[in-house]
Amino acid sequence: MTETRLRIGFIPLCDAASLLIAVDKGFAAAEGLDIELIREVSWSNVRDKLNIGLFDAAHLLAPVAIASSLGLGHIKVPIVAPFELGVNGNAITVSPQLHAEIVEAADGNVLDPLVSARALARVLEKRKRIGAEPLAFGMTFPFSTHNYQLRFWMAAAGIDPDEDVRLVVLPPPYMVESLASRQVDGFCVGAPWNSVAVNLGVGCILHFSCEILAHAAEKVLAVRARWADENPDAVIRLVRALDRSAAFIEDPANRREVAALLAASHRVGVAAEVIERTLEGRLKVAPNGGTRTDKRYLLIGHNGAARPDPVQAAWLYAQMVRWGQASLSEDLLAAAKAVFRPDLFDAAPHGNYANVTVPADRIGAFAGPVFDAEDITSHLNSWAISWAMKQR
């Protein structure tokens, strides 16, 4: 087998695990892939370096792969995703003060996202009455699941995320500091940053993102569509290496070793113990010590999770339309769905993973009608709050 050299960019987050472990445990080398991993500081960098060919592949936010393919917010470069690196894994964290206000305003258990969102709406109304500044929430990128999950949650209770709150992009490493210094009142971010905020006593985890959406594509392995066409063999080998890596990560017997490898400073660079809890879906949610466990918190390769699902791409595209980032057309919808390539995943044999049930509509949102990827117009029409509605 000829040795293939690949340069792959990543952001230090727990959901880069399949990629990092594929290199560190030799699954890539076993496929004849000599991978150079490059740790990056921003999604813009990852996107640009992938687009212009400095990277052969990248750990990328699923919506950025779609935005790049549609030419939204930036130059148009068609991207394809043969492997989903992570499903779910985000959380919404708020300051202890805001948490207390939400609990006080709640008409039920705040573990229910509809109850917490309604309570937040009341908190915002009260602030408006007394003329206080609107609350600010941090998220990681305009085209990010974090942005869409925050908006989806808030809008379910009648909050207009473009009018009633301020949504600001913050690099994940700055989230905790911004919450501590009251520049933001809450944020939605991936692991490990929610836990870091809780450990420092500056935040309470309000929701795991899997409580908002049971099954949400988070990060993909992204390659240029042209590169995939020109290097079909490398794509298959890469998928196979990632697949073996994901199966290795899934095995609880390997968890400690995986966490230790990911904790290295040139990988994710946070305490192994925090990574281990993330992989187990067991998070400390409040500074005073309460924990919450959900095996759906972050899915790495669990049955079906690694296989790209065009329904997920359709849902993400629908959010782009809902919030005014993209126009609505059948062509764009088809182009978005074509980014997720289950056929490329299926071309490589895949292993057996722990079983996690997938919701009937493959999204499992806590509010609204079931999602139908063939009819996103009715999905969009079912929301009282959306950018499109305001244009009418």
Please report whether residue 73 would count as binding another protein according to CB under 8 A.
Answer: yes
Helices (H) and strands (E) in the chain, counts: 19, 13
What phi, psi does 94 have (nearest 5°)? -125, 160
Please select the residue that binds another protein; options are 103, 174, 263, 338, rule is CB under 8 A: 174
Cα 390 to chain centroid, rounded:
27
Please report whether residue 141 would count as binding another protein according to CB under 8 A.
Answer: yes
Tell me the DSSP string of 367-384: SSSPP-TT-HHHHHHT-S
- Choose one: 22-30, 136-144, 223-231, 364-372; the region binding another protein (CB under 8 A): 136-144
Please select the residue that binds another protein; options are 26, 36, 75, 327, rule is CB under 8 A: 75
Please select the residue that binds another protein; options are 16, 80, 102, 170, rule is CB under 8 A: 170
What phi, psi does 341 have (nearest 5°)? -115, 85
Distance CA 66, CA 335 (A): 8
Please report whether residue 48 would count as binding another protein according to CB under 8 A.
Answer: yes
Please report, as residue ranges, which positions from 178 to 217 form the binding site for another protein (by CB under 8 A).
181, 183
Please select the residue that binds another protein; options are 34, 36, 52, 200, rule is CB under 8 A: 52
How many residues of this chain interact with another protein, rule: CB under 8 A?
A: 31
Distance CA 67, CA 221 (A): 15
Distance CA 241, CA 29 (A): 8
Q: Are 237 and 215 in contact (CB under 8 A)?
A: no
Between 73 and 287, CB nearer to another protein = 73
Please select the residue that binds another protein; options are 140, 145, 194, 278, rule is CB under 8 A: 140
Please select the residue that binds another protein; options are 39, 49, 127, 255, rule is CB under 8 A: 49
Please report whether residue 327 would count as binding another protein according to CB under 8 A.
Answer: no
Distance CA 143, CA 299 (A): 21
Distance CA 151, CA 163 (A): 11
Interface ranges with another protein (CB under 8 A): 41-45, 48-49, 52, 54, 73-76, 140-142, 162-163, 166, 168-171, 173-174, 181, 183, 323-325, 387
